[in-house]
Amino acid sequence: MRLRAEDLRLPAPAVIGRVVECLERVGSTQDVVRERARLGAPEGYAVFAEAQTAGRGRLGRSWVSPPGRGLWFSVLLRPGFGGDRLPALTLAAGVALARACRRAAGVAPELKWPNDLLWRGRKLGGILAELVTEPSGNPSVVLGVGLNVDLDRGLLPPELRDRVASLAEAAGAPVDRTALARHALGQLDEAYRLMRQSGFAALREEWKGLAAFLGRPVRISGPDGSWSGTALDVDADGALLVAVPGGVRRVLAGEVSLRSAALPFEPFGTDTDNMLYDRAIIPRRVW
């Protein structure tokens, strides 16, 4: 069933989801919310699309968003802090979305720093936090969420089929997108208001309890190249702490993939940032 704004709107004191717009097909809900922000939309404004033709993920990659097969939405936030706390916001959103998946579908995803939801090591969803400067000069954040609900993996290129998961598959039953969207907005709102009040510290232990890679050997690909270590912890700002010979490195941006200590190569399927790929590889209208 199509998502309807009247089923999703949340009453005060909710911030996220107090205004909801449901659209049929857009380029990217990120851009729709940016435009609404430019026109003065209130904080918490949420835009859902049945399909996106130019959905995007982190690092400029594409996000496949076929009609009715997932939750593709973005929310406008004015958290009153800048880029240095975006990782914490992304992590807090991960905790909220994991809760929503448990409540709406009985599926317990793991979280991979900074923005992935995984099921059995496969990508179930992702979060994209983008900073925008409004005409007032104030920074705001467009928080985008993609959750695969019932993706037809048969339509994906063979090399990706084993790297992507859907909630319905994980649940072994159909998943009601309206219920999932309501839980997602409700949990995001709760986490966001808690974070504004008390910072990420209030959600840190829950995040760690869901973390996929803590205590394991990882490879980091970041602004300063690719290097290895052991993922130790996340700090109160949401930075990943990685043990390396001689100390601990603090990571605020980059990609994490699991390294097997025993193998000199990356075993298939461990680099889980796989829902995202270049348009060059996959035809745009694969669905």
Would you tell me which residues interact with ligand BTN (CB under 6 A)? 28-30, 52, 55-58, 63, 65, 72-74, 115-116, 126-128, 144-146, 276
Comparing CA positions, the residue from 152, 180, 177 lying closest to residue 165 is 152
Comparing CA positions, the residue from 108, 142, 171, 118 lying closest to residue 16 is 142
CB nearer ligand BTN, residue 126 or residue 229 = 126
Nearest approach, Cβ of residue 225 and ligand BTN (Å):
21
When CB distances to ligand BTN are compared, the closest residue is 126
CB nearer ligand BTN, residue 35 or residue 244 = 35
Comparing CA positions, the residue from 153, 104, 144 lying closest to residue 125 is 144
Nearest approach, Cβ of residue 126 and ligand BTN (Å):
2
Nearest approach, Cβ of residue 246 and ligand BTN (Å):
32
Nearest approach, Cβ of residue 22 and ligand BTN (Å):
13
3-state secondary structure 187-218: HHHHHHHHHHHHCCHHHHHHHHHHECCCCCEE
State the Rg of the chain over Cα.
Answer: 18
Nearest approach, Cβ of residue 61 and ligand BTN (Å):
6
CB nearer ligand BTN, residue 61 or residue 208 = 61
Nearest approach, Cβ of residue 98 and ligand BTN (Å):
14
Comparing CA positions, the residue from 63, 114, 68, 78 lying closest to residue 252 is 114
- How far apart (Å, rounded) are the C-alpha atoms in residues 109 and 212? 9
The structure tokens 């995984």 sit at 118
- How far apart (Å, rounded) are the C-alpha atoms in residues 227 and 14? 42
Q: Which residues face 132 on adjacent strands? A: 140
Give the pairing of strands 255-258 and 276-277: unpaired
Nearest approach, Cβ of residue 235 and ligand BTN (Å):
22
CB nearer ligand BTN, residue 72 or residue 200 = 72
CB nearer ligand BTN, residue 24 or residue 205 = 24
The structure tokens 């609404």 sit at 36
Burial 30-44 (b: 16+ CB within 10 A, else e): bbbbbebbeeebebb
3-state secondary structure 243-280: EECCEEEEECCCEEEECCCCCCCCCCCCCCCCCEECCC
Count CB-CB contacts under 10 A for residue 144. Answer: 28
Structure tokens at 96: 């909220």
Nearest approach, Cβ of residue 13 and ligand BTN (Å):
25
- The answer to whether the CB of 110 falls within 8 A of the CB of 212 is yes
CB nearer ligand BTN, residue 28 or residue 140 = 28
CB nearer ligand BTN, residue 74 or residue 140 = 74
CB nearer ligand BTN, residue 35 or residue 248 = 35
